[in-house]
Amino acid sequence: MMMSPLSTRPPSEDGPRAPTEPLLQTVGLTKHFPIGGLLSHHQLHAADGVDLVIRGREIVALVGESGSGKSTLARLLAMIYRPTRGEIRFRGRSLATLRSRRDVLEYRGRVPMVFQDPYSSLNPVFRVSHGIMRAIKLHRPDLSGGGRRAEAERVLRLVGLAPPADFLDKFPHELSGGQRQRIGFAQALASRPLLILADEPVSMLDVSIRIGLLNLMAELREREQLSLLYITHDIASARYVADRLLVMYAGHIVEQGGTEEVLQQPRHPYTQLLLAAAPDPMAEIGVSSWAELGEPPRVVDPGPGCRFRWRCPRAEAVCSSIDPELRSVDGGAGIHLAACHVAARQPPASPLPDARTAGQAPPTAGAAGRG
């Protein structure tokens, strides 16, 4: 089988990172949307009780099929949505304490979002310089006219658009999809971020262009010392770029851990199923793979019990009544967690060889799925 260009990771300058203090943390983060009109009491549980941590200079991938709540979570983190319950802490401070417009603006500069659709995220009537200069004016009051221009050119160079002067005067329609998405990252960089929330930033791009954007994210982490939350439905691209994986299903994080550990020893039946649906987790997963996983998640008034039980080959009586919590499945180390009654009881299967260290062909997803 031909190896996907995603099957090797981008170079990292200093290998695995030592854990650092949380940059961003959520505690019980929840977003319910009322549905069915004014007289209805139905609630759509888009995100429920999400506890996550993102540390400095870390790339975390949030993986899940469409409708699992990934964008809702990103919008909560970006302060676009207000949580129904729960808390978000940035560098230890609760976002609920940010009262003034200035504080919120400052936070949005530190944690900007890059959106999926490069065609609609840039205003077609403005030149590229407009959005970048606007971000610089808002977030870099220390810079004068010449300094702003120099900063705009710096961020364009950082995203690989050079010479920058050629791009500042262009309109979005004069750029390719990949270049537009690079402009999205340049705008995010213009506010001097510590964490970029990238919501499916490569999903609408050709496969040949995706790899360049994934490499860009890895480079930005190194050069700008920032963290990224990379949201995707494509587990192969997550493997390529992320230190850690969070797997989301029906509003819950159902599994999380180091990327290789989760992919080589998936413990939640959903993660196992989604890996089994991908013939080669090293290759690109088409959107159609998700359709093979069965009916969409039930998130309207879901009630108690595991939300995956309707699709789960391992469901037991307890799964209908008690919501499984995220628990350590790595012997108590607390790095690899799964929210599953059965996974919490069973020892992990023996690990599959890591293709990169063993110098062998990549493991098949089918084998990983039986873990």
Site residues (vs ligand SF4, CB under 6 A): 268-269, 306, 308-309, 312, 314-316, 319, 324, 340-342
**Which span (49-57, 59-67, 318-326, 341-349) binds ligand ADP, by CB under 6 A?**
59-67
User: 331, 262, 256: which is closest to 73 by C-alpha?
Assistant: 256
Q: What is the DSSP string of 216-242?
A: HHHHHHHHH--EEEEEES-HHHHHHH-
Omega cis (within 30) before 163? yes
Q: Is 204 in the site for ligand ADP (CB under 6 A)?
A: no
* Minimum separation from the CB atom of position 273 to ligand SF4 (A): 9
**Which of 237, 265 has the CB closer to ligand SF4?**
265
Half-sphere exposure of 187 (CA within 13 A, CB side): 25
Q: Is 247 in the site for ligand ADP (CB under 6 A)?
A: no
DSSP conformation class of 96: G
Q: Token pair of 330, please?
A: 């790595």
Beta strands 59-63 and 227-232 are parallel
Q: Token pair of 359, please?
A: 């110098």
* Minimum separation from the CB atom of position 234 to Mg ion (A): 12
**Which of 53, 312 has the CB closer to ligand SF4?**
312
Residue 341: name its binding partner from ligand ADP, ligand SF4, Mg ion, none (Cβ under 5 to 8 Å by kind): ligand SF4
* List 49, 56, 64, 302, residue binding ligand ADP (CB under 6 A): 64
Q: How far is CA 355 from the centre of its chain?
A: 24
Residue 253 identity: I
Q: Is 302 in the site for ligand ADP (CB under 6 A)?
A: no
CA distance 32 to 228: 25
* Minimum separation from the CB atom of position 117 to Mg ion (A): 11
**Which of 47, 342 has the CB closer to ligand ADP?**
47
Q: Is 149 in the site for ligand ADP (CB under 6 A)?
A: no
Residue 64: name its binding partner from ligand ADP, ligand SF4, Mg ion, none (Cβ under 5 to 8 Å by kind): ligand ADP
CA distance 286 to 367: 19
* List 4, 71, 237, 264, residue binding Mg ion (CB under 5 A): 71
**Which span (19-27, 62-70, 153-161, 321-329) binds ligand ADP, by CB under 6 A?**
62-70
Phi, psi of 200, deg, nearest 5: 50, 55
Q: Which helix (H) or strand (E) holds 25?
A: strand 22-35
Q: Is 364 in the site for ligand ADP (CB under 6 A)?
A: no
**Which span (68-76, 190-198, 247-255, 261-269) binds Mg ion, by CB under 5 A?**
68-76
Question: Which residue is associated with the tokens 């971000």?
Answer: 135
Residue 72: name its binding partner from Mg ion, ligand SF4, ligand ADP, none (Cβ under 5 to 8 Å by kind): ligand ADP
Question: Which letter, b or e, does each residue of 277-296 get, where b requires 16 or more Cβ atoms within 10 Å of its Cβ?
Answer: bbebbbbbbeeebbeebeee
Residues forming the site for Mg ion (CB under 5 A): 70-71
Residues forming the site for ligand ADP (CB under 6 A): 33, 44, 46, 64, 66-72, 299
